[in-house]
Amino acid sequence: MSDAMSRRTFVKALAVSAVATSVVKPGLAEERAATTGVATEWSYVSGKQYSDPFNQVDLDAVITLPSGGEERVPGFWAGDSTWRVRYAPPVSGLYRIRSVCSDPKNRDLHDQSLTLNVQPYSGNNPHYKHGVLKVGADQRHFQHADGTPFFWLGDTWWMALCKRLSWPDGFETLTADRVHKGFTMVQIVAGLYPDMEPFDERGANESGFPWDRDYTRINPAYFDTADVRIQHLADHGLAACIVGFWGYFIPRMGVEKVKKHWRYLVARWSAYPVVWCLAGEGTMPYYLSKTPEQDAETQKHGLTELARYVRSIDPHHHPITIHPSSSARLCVDDPAVLDFDMLQTGHDDRQSAPNTIETINRSLAASPKMPVLVGEVCYEGIQEASRQEVERYMFWAALLSGAGGHTYGANGIWQVNTREKPYGLSPHGHSWGGPAWDIAAQLPGSGQLGLAKALLTRYSWWKLEPQPDLITPRWSKENYWSPFAAQIPGEAALAFIPAFNGGGSFHNLKAGSYRAFFFNPTDGTETEIGVITPDAGGSWKIAEVPIFQDWVVVLENKA
């Protein structure tokens, strides 16, 4: 397909997929229809011309809710003389809206009125139906605004807003695959990417780069193009973990400029099902930095200030974290500015197990208490290793240790390799290699994590309590590849047994009878053991299995 034809196809898809918007006309008290949980948008057009509208004008909408409370929603410059506001009303009823412009003399933008008549959402999209994502009351898991538990099974698409993952074909294909497998979250960077110099052509989308080359102003066309992808994820039930930039952009751009970047992201995307990841590799200096220690400190202080700023301007109060080199807690001066701890624990195949388990447990024991999950570990296939058995291990070991979710990644997807053109060299002069993204999407680990999630969601998975002494042998610092166990009180006890070759026992089981079965984590099949009854001491010896491999043993409480 020619570049011109590709561009025409993209523009057509963009026109179909974009959020519908209409102009608020000065002096008219208008009423418009909207739906709970679904992004709605309106715009304002200025008759007054500005030489630098992005930097000279800020516009907000002050929204009075049906309850009488108020929310202040940042608007965004959409190009030329247009500003837009995007909002997802949380409840049905009448909303009264008033625009507030930093130039109060501009009557096209300031003090304009609008009413939204909001009706309940009647579909099945979990995000539109149950509301925005929040941290659960137990400070261990995530849930929707109405209290419905949310199972974080994430995938890593760092560079998926660039044109190397084509729209619509490539993006829609990958989305459909992940929805089918049961993923619920996608990690995606808002255009200021890792592993390349700024303004490397590999980072552009169909409308260029997110900023001009001097970081003077934003490029609205870039975000119009990105919008259709974020909208597509939302419409297919996938939340987005929006990563603002890689951490080393803070010394490059300065704190005030990255605040403007984040204000723009909040204005564009807070109406969607998202969580905020302020930066990737939060305190890691640029690969070739000549002042790495100074940069790391600048990034740490900047991220702390940025976290407070984003919290102050986000009307929906989406959870905030940082993608770290180790733990998000270590990327800020005060971990209380974060809502959950994201971890990165290594890409060294089985050798990453000790650090993964110890980092999870260390964070779970830290204060303040917050959900903990791995955001990056052992991308499948990276360095010709980290195959599906490692992916299974990382998921089950994390969840049965108390993690609030888990994030997968595949080498080839995160950097969007294509068949025609592999990603190539990073600034440090090496290449991560890997297959094309569509080949990587079919690596078996992704499907096997979906099967694992499907098993857990049969039960009240959010009530999982780590019980390492429920089984012997059990994992220890001498052998991290021994069994992990947890229980859901009153429902089930589960144990993940890597490379199971027979032997082992459950202990401390409550009196009663249990339906026992082996769950095959490679294909989701079950081997029935039957009804079992622990002995007087609460112990039961695990039955023999037909194949020496990983197994999950499930004891369902018959009562």
How far is Cα 295 from Cα 285, in angstroms, rounded to an integer?
6
CATH number of the domain enclosing 116? 2.60.40.10
Distance CA 207, CA 162 (A): 9
> What's the CATH code of the domain at 341?
3.20.20.80
Q: What is the pLDDT along the chain (559 residues), one digit of tens a residue?
A: 334 334 434 444 454 445 777 788 775 668 999 999 999 999 999 999 999 999 999 999 999 999 999 999 999 999 999 999 999 999 999 999 999 999 999 999 999 999 999 999 999 999 999 999 999 999 999 999 999 999 999 999 999 999 999 999 999 999 999 999 999 999 999 999 999 999 999 999 999 999 999 999 999 999 999 999 999 999 999 999 999 999 999 999 999 999 999 999 999 999 999 999 999 999 999 999 999 999 999 999 999 999 999 999 999 999 999 999 999 999 999 999 999 999 999 999 999 999 999 999 999 999 999 999 999 999 999 999 999 999 999 999 999 999 999 999 999 999 999 999 999 999 999 999 989 999 999 999 999 999 999 999 999 999 999 999 999 999 999 999 999 999 999 999 999 999 887 789 999 999 999 999 999 999 999 999 999 999 999 999 999 887 999 999 999 998 7
CA distance 480 to 210: 44
Q: Same domain for 153 and 114? A: no
**Residue 263 shares a structural domain with residue 136:** yes
- Token reading at 400: 């049965």
pLDDT score of 559: 76
Structural domain includes residue 28 = yes
- The answer to whether residue 13 is domain-embedded is no
Q: What distances in angstroms separate CA 137 from CA 142, 225, 370, one per listed residue?
A: 9, 37, 10
Same domain for 418 and 511: no
Flag whether 14 is in a domain: no
Would you state the pLDDT for residue 319? 98
Within a domain: 403: yes
Structural domain boundaries, residue 144: 127-460
| Statement to judge: residues 312 and 456 lie in one domain | yes
What are phi and psi for residue 553, nearest 5 degrees? -100, 130
Side-chain-side CA neighbours of residue 151 (13 Å): 20
- Are the C-beta atoms of 204 and 146 separated by less than 8 Å? no
Boundary of a domain, candidates 421, 440, 460: 460
Residue with tokens 């270590």: 330
Same domain, 183 and 315: yes
Q: Please tell me whether residues 164 and 309 are part of one structural domain.
A: yes
Pairing status of strand 341-344 against strand 372-376: parallel
Residue 297 has what pLDDT?
98
pLDDT of residue 18: 54
Within a domain: 1: no
Q: Are residues 456 and 481 in the same domain?
A: no
Cα(165)–Cα(232) distance, integer angstroms: 14
> In this structure, what is the dihedral angle of CA atoms 351, 286, 323, 480, given to the nearest 10 degrees?
10
Number of other residues whose CB lies within 10 A of the CB of residue 226:
24
Does 145 share its domain with 172? yes
Tens digit of each residue's pLDDT (9 = 90 or more) over 404-452? 999 999 999 999 999 999 999 999 999 999 899 999 999 999 999 999 9
Query: Residues 113, 183: one domain?
Result: no
Q: Are residues 239 and 334 in the same domain?
A: yes
Can you tell me the distance from the alpha carbon of 415 to that of 158, in angstroms, rounded to the nearest whole number? 6
If asked whether residues 410 and 309 sit together in one domain, one would say yes
Crossing angle of the two packed helices 220-235 and 255-269, in degrees rounded to 10 = 50
Which amino acid appears at position 55 of this protein? N
In sequence order, the 6+-apart residues with CB closer than 8 A to the CB of 27 are none
Amino acid (one-letter) located at 273: P
Indicate the DSSP class of residue 413.
T
Residue 3 lies in a domain: no
- What are 203's two structure tokens? 């980072």
Q: Using the 8-state DSSP alphabet, how is residue 544 labeled? A: P
Q: Of the residues 122, 153, 185, which one is the last residue of a structural domain?
A: 122
Predicted local confidence at residue 28, as pLDDT: 60
Instruction: Using the 3D structure, point to which of 402, 436, 460 is the last residue of a domain.
Output: 460
Residue 266: name the closest of 223, 330, 214, 300 by CA.
223
Q: Does residue 273 form part of some domain? A: yes
Q: Is residue 71 part of a domain?
A: yes
Same-domain pairing of 32 and 167? no
Among 223, 235, 241, smallest CA distance to 176 is for 235
Total domains present in the chain: 3
Q: Do 494 and 400 contact (CB within 8 A), yes or no? A: yes
CB 130 within 8 A of CB 146: yes
pTM of the model: 0.95
Q: Is residue 450 within 8 Å of residue 183, measured between CB atoms?
A: yes
- 554/559 Cα distance (integer angstroms): 15
pLDDT score, position 545: 84
> 3-state class of 294 per DSSP?
helix
Residues 94-122 pLDDT 10s:
999 999 999 999 999 999 999 999 999 99
